[in-house]
């Protein structure tokens, strides 16, 4: 899978096709299976898959959580139900991805000496 983020967008558009239902825990199980299969086959992670590994830590910081819970449990705690947590995953994931773009932009500005 060259574009992990495209896979996530496909799941967002048609969750029942990929997961069976709108469930944050089904999404987590699907992604865990994805990572497991890659490890078993000896396929190295793509840059996007490696970046996604930071999502949990980012989410813990975002919600100021100091627990061993995984991202699905954190999202469920901060949502009404599993479907709400599922929907919230994608909005927070967008925020996570965009924070990388903002950081890259800021780094380039500092490197060029144009700090505002």
Question: How far is Cα 61 from Cα 41, in angstroms, rounded to an integer?
Answer: 33
Total domains in the fold of the chain:
1
Q: Is residue 90 part of a domain?
A: yes
Q: What is the pTM of this model?
A: 0.81
Tens place of pLDDT per residue across the chain (116 aa): 459 999 999 999 999 999 999 999 999 999 999 999 999 999 999 999 999 999 999 999 999 998 888 999 999 999 999 999 999 999 999 999 988 666 665 555 556 565 55
Domain residue limits at 94: 4-111
Q: Is residue 116 part of a domain?
A: no
In SS3 terms, 52-74 reads as HCCHHHHHHHHCCCCCCCCHHHH
Q: Per the structure block, which two tokens stand in for 100?
A: 């990388």
Question: How far is Cα 10 from Cα 17, in angstroms, rounded to an integer?
Answer: 9
Q: Is residue 101 part of a domain?
A: yes
DSSP state at residue 67: S
Q: Is residue 13 part of a domain?
A: yes
């Amino acid at each position: 899978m060259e574009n992990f983020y495209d896979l996530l967008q496909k799941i967002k558009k048609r969750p029942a096709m990929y997961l069976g239902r709108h469930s944050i825990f089904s999404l987590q199980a699907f992604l865990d299976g994805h990572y497991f299969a890659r490890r078993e086959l000896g396929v190295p992670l793509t840059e996007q898959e490696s970046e996604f590994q930071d999502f949990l830590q980012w989410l813990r910081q975002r919600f100021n959580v100091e627990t061993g819970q995984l991202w699905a449990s954190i999202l469920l705690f901060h949502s009404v139900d599993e479907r709400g947590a599922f929907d919230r995953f994608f909005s927070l994931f967008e925020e996570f991805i965009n924070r990388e773009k903002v950081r890259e932009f800021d780094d380039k500005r500092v490197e060029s000496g144009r700090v505002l």
